[in-house]
Every structure is written in C-alpha cells, then in structure tokens.
Amino acid sequence: MGKNLYQKVFDRHVVSRLSSGQYQVLIGLHLVHEVTSPQAFALLRDRGLKVKYPNRTFATVDHIIPTEIRDRQRPLQDTLAEEMLQAIENNTREHGVSFFGAKSGHQGIVHVIGPEMGLTQPGMTIACGDSHTSTHGAFGSLAFGIGTSQVADILATQTMSLGRLKVRRITVTGKLAPGVYAKDVILAIIRKLGVNGGVGHAYEYAGPVIEAMSMEERMTLCNMSIEGGARIGYVNPDETTYAYLKGREYAPKGADWDKAVAYWKSIASDADATFDDEVVIDGSALAPQVTWGITPAQSVAVDESIPAAESFPESERPLIHEAYEYMSLEANQPIAGVPVDVVFIGSCTNGRISDLQEAADAVTKAVTAHPGLKVASTVRAMVVPGSEPVQKIAEELGLHKIFTDAGFQWREPGCSMCLAMNPDKLKNREVSASTSNRNFKGRQGSPSGRTLLMSPVMAVAAALTGKVTDARTFFNLSTTSAKQG
C-alpha cells in the first residue's frame, strides 16, 4: 500500500516519541517575523539558551512596517512599531540569524520571500509563528503555523511537539473558466467544507486544475487552507515546482540539483497512496467568488445573491444574522453592485508578481476599451507588492505606472491592510474589496470596517466601477475556451 506525501515527510522528521504520546518533529526551515517572535527570544534569554540551528532560521519584518516611503525613516514614527523592529534586529543579530530588513533586497511578507529565495522546497518541514505558513505547502512541504511558545521550542531545539493528522485529498477536476483563479477555487472549497471542515486534517490538493496551476497560484490555494480549518495544505511537487525553484538563491546547485529533484520525486504521494477522506470539486463549474459575511466560508459567486438564513442549518443561523447585521447586507440581495470604498491588492494570498501582472493586465484592458478610465472617485485603491523583489520586477515591467496612471496608489512591500498593524487602515464603516484572506470583523483596522474577499482581477473591477462587479463581463473575458478542458 502506497504512502502519501504527508506520511513520508512526517516520518523522516520524527525525532522521538514524547511522554504525552505526541511526536517530537524536526523543523527544517524556521521563518520568523517581528510580531510573534520577541516573547520567544525573551524566553531563550531567560533560560540561557541559544538558537539551535541559526542557519535554518530566517527572519524579516512585514506586519508592522509602513508602506509609504516617507514613513519608513528610522526611527519609525510609531514608537511601538520601532520597538518591535529593533527587537527583531537585535534578537537576530545576537543569535546569528539572517534578517531581511527594508532595502536588503529581500524584505517582504514572510510567505512571499521564502519561496522566492528558494528557501521553501519540497519535502521540508517548515514552521513560522503565523497561520498562513500553510502557503509553503504549495511546494510539497509540511508547513505549520504555530504560536509563540512553539516558536521558542523551535528556536531552542529545532523541533516541536506534533500529533499526526488525517489527510483529505481534494481533487479539482476540469478546467477553470477565464476570469476564475486560484483564489476562487479556495474560496469555493471553504464555502463547501466550512471554516472548520478541515480540523484535524492536512489537505492534499490534486487533480487537473491544480496540476495546471503555476506555483504562485498553488501558493494562493495553500495559503487559505487554514481558513478552512485544515492544519496544513499541500500540493505534490512536479515539473512546475522544479522549474520554479531552479536557479533560485537557496535552491540546490550543480550536481546537487539532480539529486535533489530525485529526492523530491521520492517524497511525492505514491500512485496507490491512501487517504482518510476524499472530496471532488468540479473546477469547470466555478465562477468568481466574493465573500459577503464575516467568515471566509460566507461567500457567493459574483452572479449570485446573498443566501437566506433558512438555507443554512439552524445552528449556523445566528452567525448568518450576525453577518447580515455587521455587513449591512440582506438576504437575497445580489452581491454584484454592492458599493466599495477601498480596494486593497496585496497580502500573502495575492501579493505576488503574477497577481500584480494579472491585475495590471486587467487595468490595461479596461483603459484600452475606455480611454481615460480611472479608479472610481469614491474609491481609495492601493496596490502593495508582497516583497522587495516583487516590487522591483513590477517596476521593471512598468506595472506600477499602469496602476498609478489609473489612480491606484503604489506602495512599499508589507502586510499592510491585510491586518492593519501598520498605518494602512479602513476608517469607520468603510467597505473594502480585498485580495487578502480574512474578512473577520475589524480585521482591516477599523473595529466596524467591512471586508469583501475576492481575486485581484475582481478587485480591479471593483476599483474601476466603485462596486462589486463581475470581472468576466466587465473585462469581456471570453467564456468559450472554458468548455474545452
């Protein structure tokens, strides 16, 4: 009987069986950011411990960093942010850990920079004090979001205590229609399985739609596994994975490359691997998704209406009513046409170069069809690259000009308005069309602010029209090629 990737990689990393019955598991790559690490470093200091493998530990600053150049002057005006930045600078220096700060050429959202430097590779165990660490599963690694106590465990021992997960294979069949992206696939999966449908599970994503995805799309997909309650999500490595990694700074080189590829092939799920559960989704039937509520499962296709509470099981109805009230939306109201005040394109879900390229292409298409078209006068729209390399490539390609000419703001890299720990925030009851991953109450910096999650191209359509708009018709994306797959 074959094994799946989760089983193979987990087994290779087990160090010991703990007295609790849990496993002590080696974490091969530890990524660190400024929000969840200072208390862990303080604990090491209290106990007189050192970082066990500083060369397997990499740090950056992303959550609190301002995205306007003038606000990046040191010391940062925000004294709390400055204190956090100094803490990670000092902690990484003291322990000999690489730190990618602003203007290092590699600063950015931790889940964007790991893959783009080639740090993230198949067959690894990866951890970071951040739930969206699941992103790195796109390469066929087991990537865990952890809390600060576990950050301290890994700093001190390069291991953490873990139980075994069940593995659910989610197969997406068919071919995505034009205007439908990885973001729509994962939102549809979460809508179907629920925000806690994945508890106790790793999600293995498979099938023709996943195989056809680029690495960046796979990252978008795996990124939001956690929003579906899964502990981790992954895609088996394949030629797309190897082609992405080849030549990247930390990828194996020369003779090692071929050996590495052979190793990576060996850890992929066997053809006869078994799974604890299987779910099949028809990718050809998917439309662009938009969330209307306060959890990522509360989404509809852009051409649908907001569902009636009666269509949900009774136990879920209180949350549905809470969502109507918080969002000021009503049952049976079409989601298309809901006005938006802010558009945010960025985050570890959709702040990579392919996302910005798709968004810029959409802008170009609209401006070509309607010369002079700009971001709606009622809308504040910002594009925030996920990292310094993304920013650099986008500027070399002239994408920033396409955005700024159309009235979008072009910012410096960071998490920005995904969770608004820096100055980028919603005000009051503003509605945001956001390419990020969480539409929780208050998530984008105003305790009463509202978030509609969607793909970058849908966000561009919302920016240009000032309301939720079906990108397929707005950008005249042909639907004919969809049926061929």
Partner 1 sequence: MQATAAAIIESVSGRAVPVRGNDIDTDRIIPARYLRTVTFDGIGEHAFEDDRRGLAAKGQVHTFDKPEYQGGKILFVNKNFGCGSSREHAPQSLMRWGIEAVVGESFAEIFFGNCVSLGIPCVTVDEATINRLLDSAESDPTANWTLDVKGHELKGPVTVKVDMPEGPRSQFLSGQWNPMSELLSHLSEVEQVADNLPYVSGKW
Name the residues that contact ligand SF4, by CB under 6 A. Answer: 62-63, 109, 111, 130, 132, 347-348, 415, 418-419, 436-437
Which of residues 228 and 288 has its CB atom nearest to partner 1 in the complex?
A: 228
Determine, following the binding rule CB under 8 A, whether residue 322 of this chain makes contact with partner 1.
yes
Q: Is 77 a binder of partner 1 (CB under 8 A)?
A: no
Residue whose C-alpha is closest to residue 374's, from 463, 468, 434:
463
* C-beta closer to partner 1: residue 226 or 454: 226
309 part of the interface to partner 1, by CB under 8 A: no
Contact of residue 450 among partner 1, ligand SF4, none (CB under 5-8 Å per partner type): none
Listed ranges 169-177, 275-283, 363-371, 415-423: which one lies at the site for partner 1 (CB under 8 A): 415-423
Residue 347's binding partner among ligand SF4, partner 1, none (Cβ under 5 to 8 angstroms by kind) is ligand SF4
Structure tokens at 354: 């392919």
Where in 9-48 is the site for partner 1 (CB under 8 A)? 12-16, 18-22, 24, 26, 28, 35-36, 38-39, 42-43, 46-47
Q: Which among partner 1, ligand SF4, none contacts residue 348 (Cβ within 5 to 8 A by kind)?
A: ligand SF4
Amino acid occupying residue 305: S
Q: Is 290 helix (H, G, I), strand (E, B) or coil?
A: strand
Contact call for residue 465 and partner 1 (CB under 8 A): no
- The conformation of residue 294, written as its DSSP 8-state character, comes to S
Cα distance between residue 178 and residue 170, in whole Å: 22
Work out what residue 173 binds among ligand SF4, partner 1, none; the CB cut-off runs from 5 to 8 Å by kind.
none
Output the CA angle 63-67-70, nearest 5 degrees. Answer: 130
Binding mask 433-452 for partner 1 (x = CB under 8 A): -----x-xxxx-x-xx----
Q: How far apart are CA 33 and CA 153, in angstroms?
A: 16
Q: Is position 113 an interface residue for partner 1 (rule: CB under 8 A)?
A: no
Q: Which of 110, 352, 382, 8 is nearest to 213 (CA)?
A: 352
Of 311, 307, 386, the closest CA to residue 60 belongs to 386
Looking at residue 329, its amino acid is: L
423 forms part of the interface with partner 1 (CB under 8 A): no
| 305 phi and psi angles, rounded to 5 deg | -105, 165
Which residue matches tokens 């569902």?
307
Residues in region 355-394 near partner 1 by CB under 8 A: none
Which of the listed partners (ligand SF4, partner 1, none) does 109 bind, with a CB threshold of 5 to 8 Å by partner kind? ligand SF4
Residues in 126-155 that interact with partner 1 by CB under 8 A: 129-131, 133, 145-150, 152-153
How far is CA 80 from each of CA 338, 380, 423, rounded to the nearest angstrom? 36, 27, 12
**With contact defined as beta carbons under 8 Å apart, do 234 and 5 qualify?**
yes
The smaller minimum CB distance to partner 1, of residues 7 and 150, is found at 150
Could you tell which of ligand SF4, partner 1, none binds residue 303, using a CB distance below 5 to 8 A set by kind?
none
Structure tokens at 329: 């939306």
Q: Which does 176 bind (CB under 5 to 8 A by kind): ligand SF4, partner 1, none?
A: none
Task: Specify the long-range contacts of residues 38-47, CB closer than 8 Å, at least 24 apart.
Answer: 38/84, 38/87, 38/88, 38/91, 39/148, 39/152, 40/129, 40/148, 40/149, 40/151, 40/152, 40/155, 41/87, 41/91, 41/94, 41/95, 41/152, 41/155, 43/152, 44/95, 44/152, 44/155, 44/156, 47/156
Is 214 a binder of partner 1 (CB under 8 A)? no
Q: Is 17 helix (H, G, I), strand (E, B) or coil?
A: strand
Q: What's the residue count for the chain?
A: 485
427 belongs to the binding site for partner 1 (CB under 8 A):
no
Q: Which does 436 bind (CB under 5 to 8 A by kind): partner 1, ligand SF4, none?
A: ligand SF4
Among 156, 309, 331, 367, binds partner 1 (CB under 8 A): 156
Which of ligand SF4, partner 1, none does residue 14 bind (CB under 5 to 8 Å by kind)? partner 1
